[in-house]
Every structure is written in C-alpha cells, then in structure tokens.
A and B are shown apart, each in its own frame.
Chain A
Amino acid sequence: MKRLQKSAASIKEEYSIRKVPLYLILIGLPLGLFVLSLTLGRYQIGPIDVLKVMLSPIFPSIAEGIPDIAIQLILRVRLPRILAALLIGASYGATGTAFQAIFKNPLVDSNILGVTSGAGFGAALALLFFGDQWLVQVSAFVFGLLAVFLSFFGSRLYRSSPLLILTLMGILVGSFFGSLTSLLKYAADPLDSLPAITFWLLGSLNGITWQNLLPLIILTILGLIYLWVLRWRLNILSLGDAEASALGVDPTRMKLGIILFSTLMTAVAVSASGVIGWVGLVIPHAGRLIVGPEHKRLLPVSISLGAAFLMIIDDLARTLLPGEIPLGVLTGLIGVPILVLLMRRSRTGW
C-alpha cells in the first residue's frame, strides 16, 4: 500500500511537471493573441498603449496622451470584435469536442444536428423581409434552435439505434433548411438582399457591437462552464449508452443537457457571426495530438486552441487585404489543409 501511495505521488508529480507549462501556455496563448490582435489593423496602436486603453475605464488618467480616435477604435470596434472571436472560437472548440464524444465520432461538430443551416435560413428570412441587424440575429438564433429541435425529436419517432437516426435526422434537417435558404436567395433582390444574405452566410465579425455581444457573452460562458464541469464524464459517454449506463451514468439525460447547451452556444455564435465552419471539427483533432483523447485534459485544450485559432483567422481577415475576407472562407482555406495534415499525423485511434 505504501509503495502504491508512493507511485501515485510520483505519477502525480510527473503529471504536474508536464501540466504546469501546458496550462500556462493554454491560458497565455489566447491572452497574448488577444492583446496582439488589439494592436493589429489599418490604424497601428502599440501593445503598451493597448494595455493602457484597456485599463482606462478604471484608471482614466492612465490613457493620457493617447489620441481619442485610438481609444474609441479599441473600446468600441476592436475590443468587442476580438472578444467575439475569442468566445466563438472557444465555443466551437468546446462544443466540437463534446459532440465528437457523445456521437462517438471524430468527424462531427455541433453543426451535425442542423443548427447552422437553420440559423442561415433564419438570417436569410430576416434579411429578406426586415433587414434589421438585431432581428436578423434573433431570427437566426430561433431558427437554429428550431432545426436542432426538429432533428432531435424527429429521431425520437424511431425506436432503435437513436444515435445513427439522430445523425441522419440532423443531416436531413440541415439539407432541408439549406434548400429553404436557396429558395430565399432565388427570390431575393439581386442588388440588395441577395448580397446581404450571401455575405451573412460567408461569416464575418464585422458588425459586432457591445449590444449584440451581450447574449454571446452570457450564453457562451454559461455553456463553457457546463461543459467544463462535465468534461471527465464525456469519456464515459463516448463509450456508448450501454456502457455509460452500466457505469452509473444516465446517458440520455446527460446527452440531452450537452446537446441543449451546445446548441444554445452554437446558435448564439452563428447568429452573431454568420456561418463559420471547420473550427469545431479541426480544433479537437489538434487538441488530441497535444494531450491525447482524454476529455478532462482535451476540453481545456480545445477551448484555448479554438479561441486562439479564430482570433488568428479574424486578424488575417482584417489585415490580409484592404477589404475584409469572409471568415467562413478563411476557416475553410486554412482549416481543411490543417485537418488533412492532422489526419495524416494522428495515430490510428485518433
């Protein structure tokens, strides 16, 4: 027993030696990128000045000498936008990891139940008939939830093999809303609402303000806490319902909770930014390469990598060309080659 205790202690030590720098990196990477991102843009602002401006709401004297336009640019434009990139990236990283676990499938993300297609349709509908930014966001959110609701309860009509049926339902509902969106695009005014719909579907953080950031902050943080707390149990869910149940976990209730929170997170993210694909799919794979598949360690890594990844993508979208590049285009262009590389390097069992 004594020997065992000793070996447990030594293993713990071994873990923590590796853990401390990793966790420092995991927190430091997104934070550093956050500050760096604030400095980037057409109007150059140094990192020291950025930090000063950030502190200025608390210590107004600290930002003396910095031009007002820089302060306004950081607080009103860059800060909400980069915060959104951080939150949405973290959200996709976490929900992708959770969905891959509960679907026992490393090739899905939180869009598998059709939330993005539903949100796309909701946004297109509002853009076509109202055009108001706030309504677009609400409509996207509501239709995103509706799509998942239809997939989930549609699958309950069948008795057997609910996981496969659920996946199939998600694909069906997704295609259905995709077709509806195409119908709206076909009907839309090619000079006015059609470009608006098209750009929305390509994804952008251009229109983020503090006002529409608020629901994103609240739901994302709530959802991240929920998934964080359950992260070790994702391991057990990934073994399948029968085994989870034999290990004393109620798989149905837990999956329902995870799907609910992940869907809220994804719907609010899509409604704020438009369609940004690939993050939820790619990030968990990158995370597994670093810490392995165990979800207690994987989830924090996915959150950190997701946040960092989307901030980098958004920086590129803002700075690469004089005009903005749509985010959905960049995540695809960068995410797909990364995924191909990761799949080559990953071991057989992911």
Chain B
Amino acid sequence: MLLEAANISYAYLPGKTVLHDVSLQLNAGETLYVLGKNGCGKTTLLSCLGGLLKPNAGRVFLDSTLIADFSASERAKRIGLIPQMHTPAFAYTVRQMVMMGRAPHLPWLGSPTEKDHLIVEEALEQIGLLELQDRPYTEVSGGEQQLVLIARGLAQKCPILLMDEPTAHLDLSNQHRVMEIVHQLGQQGLSFIISSHEPNDALAYADNVLLLSGGWVTEVGKPQDVLTETLLSSVYDIQTEVIYQHENGAKKARAVLPRRPLVVKPDSLQAEGSFLNKIFKKRIEKPQIILVTGLSGSGKTSWCTQMIKEAVESGHSVEGILSPGIFEGNKKTGIEVIDLTSGERKRLARLREEGRGEISTPRWVFDPNVLDWANQRLQNSTGRDLLIIDELGPLEFLRNKGLLAGLERLDQGQFEVACVVVRSSLLPKALQRWPDAQVVRGQL
C-alpha cells in the first residue's frame, strides 16, 4: 500500500474540527476521487495526506512509514501536491515552472544540473508541452497551466500526486484534456488523489470514491457503489438523479444530475394521472411532503390558495396555516396568518422599524403572541388529508424560532400530504431534514 490514512482528524482552531476520523487507502496506479460540498474539508484532507498539515489525531503512512518521519525533501520525493490554480507573482516560463519540481532532488545549496534539464524535458515531452516551454506560465491557457503543474509533478518523480480541484474553472475541452492525461498516467502506474466537484468525472475516471460531508466520511468505495442517488443527495443536500446505461445486460451509472423541481399546476389535482392526483389517489403508504419552492415573491402563497380550493372541491379536507402578505398599494407592509381550520386571521408581522429588540428578521418584526397562537393551531388540528404550512423560512431553519410546531409535525409524520412552502435558497436545508420530499415549483 502506497498511502494510508488511519482515523485522522484536523482542527485549524481548537474546538473547530474540520476533519473527523478519516481513513483511506491508496494503492499503486489507483485514482481516488474525493467529492463533497464547498468547505467540507477536501483541501484540508489533501494537505494532511500530503504532509503539509499534521493531523491532531490519527496517522498518515507513506510507504508504511509515518509521513511526519520524512524530511520535507524526502517526503516530496514520494508525494506531490498540486494546489488549486492561482497566478504566481512572477511570470516564470513553463520550463522554469516544471524545473521547480526538481527541488526535492537537489542538495539544498544546489541549482539544477544537466540531468535535471533532461528530466524536465522528458516530463514536458510526455505531457506534450515542449512547444510551450518558453512561454510565460501566466500567459498559457488554464488547461495548459494545469498540465504544467502535472508535468512539474512528473519532474518531481513521486509515485503519488494529490490534485486539488484540477478541473475547476476549465472549459469542457480542457477538462477533458487534463483528465484524459491524468487517466493515462494512472494506467502507467501513477497514483492520484483528486478532490473535485465533478461526480461525473469520478464516474468516468475514479477507481475509488470518497464522499466527504462536513468533515466526516459518508462513504468510500467503487464509484458504481458510492455514487448513488441516496448518498449523493445526502452529501450535497439536493436531490440528484443518476442516469444509467445498460451495457451487455449490466446496469452502469454514467452521469449524475441534480433533480430539478417539477413544475406543477394546482388544478392538476383533479386531472387523472397527474402528479398531484397520483399523490392524493395513492392514499398513501407513507406521509408525503411536497416542498413548494420559488424565489421570494414568486407566488408560492397564491399557489397554495389555489391548491386549497382544488382540494376542497375534490372532497379533501384541509388544515394548517397560510401567511399571505398585507399590501398597501404595491408595497408589502405586513404578513398575515390564517388558520385554515377555523378561518381566523391575525396580523403576524409588520415592517421593521429601527431599534426594537423583538423576534425579527432583518425586514420583519413578528408578534410573539400570534406566533404562539399559530403554533397552537398547528398542534391541535390533526389527521386530515392536506396539511399546508406556509411558510418555513430562515426563522425556522436557521434560528430555531417561528412555526416550530409545524417543523415538529413534519418531522413526526403527522399528516397525509403536506404542502410546505420553502424559498429556493433554503431548499437544501429543507432537503437535509426531509430527504424524501418531492420538490415542486408552483405554477398557476
């Protein structure tokens, strides 16, 4: 085994651990992809594996030796790290950049010799960069810059290369060019650990995939086993769809796409075979949450009103609360709350004035008594067909205030069908909580 991490954890500041108990192995010629959201710890993991950061707990072994036991140059002869692309302060030529890979092999007072020039040329030739060798690194294309850094890794003569988001900011053809070269180098025996935002690249090029979420390993294994809708959805907090291809009778995942919201009209509740009709007809193996999404002010509440009308007309009962805006002229000056079982309305929020310390968002000041009342209503009404909760916003998801009774009922599944209004920006939060929910964008 070339590289092994055993239960490593890392914190930049005490108490703020960004990497929890990560273990992985890498064999010769293998390519391991690390996937995860922004800020999930990918770069930190690579830095720990490359010996640039010392884990607070756990160990990293390189060639069965503790990586911390190597001197900097001995380590750099065994493992190379290609950081995220950035522009250097000085416009070195491509050849000079690649030459820097020879640093660990030179005595610390030494400069490159003829032998180093030969090795650099071989690396440039292998990647196909000889023609560019005298061009300034800062003036070649982004894809070529990435190739230069790979060539530098080759000149470094280390069997393992760690690459931090090598295809970020590259166009389709450059992504392809870089990854095909990485793949061929892998077949020649080089090992790679690549952090990436491209699950599709992982499907195409990885031998193994490690999914990282909030610094924890969600799963590690073969791409076909790891890149599933369930796991990807939980890692990225969006709904995903894996496209399969059938090859000689075997089902093979070929692409991962984010699942977009369905566009649904409320009157389709009545139409035989439509999405809403199916949900209501099935009546139901398990409670079904429909997340109604859209930008703020895109008519989510109006959609719900229409939906309620349709539901009542087709004989379903409705409960929950609705919170339409109060308008003076064209200006939204307040928010009302309507209890759907009793039909009572109360004023929930007014526009914020300066200098009051109440329950408020940057724009709205909420009446705590009305919130209590709405929560009681949500608690007391139970077990009808359609539960409407309009809306769950930053108050509920980020600050744990507001319509908490609504959250609780949704968490405990006390409903048949629930229509929950969530603005687009908070959708990942909602999906984190209820991964099986259906996402629709209302259309009137």
- Give the interface of A toward B (CB within 8 A): 4-5, 7-8, 11-12, 101, 104-106, 159, 229-233, 235-236, 238-240, 242-243, 245-250, 288, 292-294, 296, 347-350
**B139 neighbours in A (Cβ, 8 Å):** 349
Q: Give the complex CA separation of A81 and B89 in angstroms.
A: 37
**A105 neighbours in B (Cβ, 8 Å):** 89
Contacts of B108-140 to chain A: CB distance below 8 A: 108-112, 114, 117-118, 121-122, 125, 136, 138-139
Q: Give the complex CA separation of A238 and B156 in angstroms.
A: 18
Q: Give the complex CA separation of A101 and B110 in angstroms.
A: 18
B90 touches A238 (CB 8 A): yes
A245 touches B52 (CB 8 A): yes
Q: Which of A11, A233, A247 has the most CB of B within 10 A?
A: A247
Task: Confirm or deny: B73 has a beta carbon within 8 angstroms of a beta carbon on chain A.
Answer: yes
Chosen A-B contacts, 26 in total, with CB atoms closer than 8 Å, are: A8-B121, A101-B90, A106-B89, A159-B13, A229-B109, A232-B111, A233-B108, A235-B96, A235-B100, A236-B103, A238-B88, A242-B47, A242-B83, A245-B52, A245-B72, A247-B103, A248-B75, A248-B77, A248-B103, A249-B73, A288-B90, A293-B92, A348-B138, A349-B138, A349-B139, A350-B91
A8 touches B114 (CB 8 A): yes
Kindly supply a per-residue 1/0 record for chain B positions 173-186, scoring 1 wherever the CB is within 8 Å of any chain A CB and 0 otherwise.
00000000000000
**A11 neighbours in B (Cβ, 8 Å):** 117
For residue B54, give the distance in angstroms from its CB to the closest CB of chain A: 12
Top 7 A-B pairs ranked by shortest CB distance? A248-B76, A349-B91, A248-B104, A293-B90, A248-B73, A246-B81, A349-B138
For residue A295, give the distance in angstroms from its CB to the closest CB of chain B: 8
**A248 neighbours in B (Cβ, 8 Å):** 72-77, 103-104
For residue A3, give the distance in angstroms from its CB to the closest CB of chain B: 9
Q: Give the complex CA separation of A242 and B85 in angstroms.
A: 12
Given A246-B76, A247-B100, verify A7-B91 contact (CB < 8 Å): no
Interface residue from A7, A250, A294 paired with B93 (Cβ < 8 Å):
A294
For residue B78, give the distance in angstroms from its CB to the closest CB of chain A: 10
Q: Give the complex CA separation of A206 and B394 in angstroms.
A: 72
B118 touches A349 (CB 8 A): no
Q: Closest residue of chain A to B130, judged by CB?
A: A7
**B103 neighbours in A (Cβ, 8 Å):** 233, 236, 247-249
Task: Confirm or deny: B80 has a beta carbon within 8 angstroms of a beta carbon on chain A.
Answer: yes
B90 touches A349 (CB 8 A): yes
**A250 neighbours in B (Cβ, 8 Å):** 72
**A347 neighbours in B (Cβ, 8 Å):** 91, 136
- Give the interface of B toward A (CB within 8 A): 13, 47, 50, 52, 72-77, 80-81, 83, 86-93, 96, 100-101, 103-104, 106, 108-112, 114, 117-118, 121-122, 125, 136, 138-139, 156
**A294 neighbours in B (Cβ, 8 Å):** 92-93, 96
Q: Closest residue of chain A to B89, judged by CB?
A: A104
Q: Give the complex CA separation of A101 and B90 in angstroms.
A: 8
For residue B94, give the distance in angstroms from its CB to the closest CB of chain A: 12
For residue A299, give the distance in angstroms from its CB to the closest CB of chain B: 11
For residue B81, give the distance in angstroms from its CB to the closest CB of chain A: 4
Q: Closest residue of chain A to B100, judged by CB?
A: A236
**B13 neighbours in A (Cβ, 8 Å):** 159
**B86 neighbours in A (Cβ, 8 Å):** 240
Q: Give the complex CA separation of A281 and B377 in angstroms.
A: 73
For residue A21, give the distance in angstroms from its CB to the closest CB of chain B: 20
Q: Give the complex CA separation of A328 and B137 in angstroms.
A: 37
Q: Closest residue of chain B to A296, judged by CB?
A: B111
For residue B443, give the distance in angstroms from its CB to the closest CB of chain A: 48
**A233 neighbours in B (Cβ, 8 Å):** 103, 108
**A292 neighbours in B (Cβ, 8 Å):** 91-93
Q: Give the complex CA separation of A350 and B110 in angstroms.
A: 26
Q: Closest residue of chain B to A5, judged by CB?
A: B118
**A242 neighbours in B (Cβ, 8 Å):** 47, 52, 81, 83
For residue A10, give the distance in angstroms from its CB to the closest CB of chain B: 11
Q: Give the complex CA separation of A240 and B112 in angstroms.
A: 20
For residue B48, give the distance in angstroms from its CB to the closest CB of chain A: 13
**B111 neighbours in A (Cβ, 8 Å):** 231-232, 296
Not counting A7-B121, A349-B91, A349-B139, a sample of 12 additional A-B residue pairs whose C-beta atoms are within 8 angstroms of each other reads A4-B122, A12-B114, A101-B90, A230-B109, A232-B106, A233-B108, A238-B88, A238-B89, A239-B100, A246-B50, A247-B76, A249-B72
Given A4-B121, A8-B118, verify A350-B109 contact (CB < 8 Å): no
For residue A110, give the distance in angstroms from its CB to the closest CB of chain B: 17
**B91 neighbours in A (Cβ, 8 Å):** 292-293, 347-350
**A239 neighbours in B (Cβ, 8 Å):** 88, 100
Q: Give the complex CA separation of A12 and B117 in angstroms.
A: 9
A246 touches B112 (CB 8 A): no
Interface residue from B100, B125, B138 paired with A4 (Cβ < 8 Å):
B125
Q: Closest residue of chain A to B122, judged by CB?
A: A4
B118 touches A247 (CB 8 A): no
Interface residue from A4, A243, A249 paired with B118 (Cβ < 8 Å):
A4
**B89 neighbours in A (Cβ, 8 Å):** 104-106, 238, 350
B90 touches A350 (CB 8 A): yes
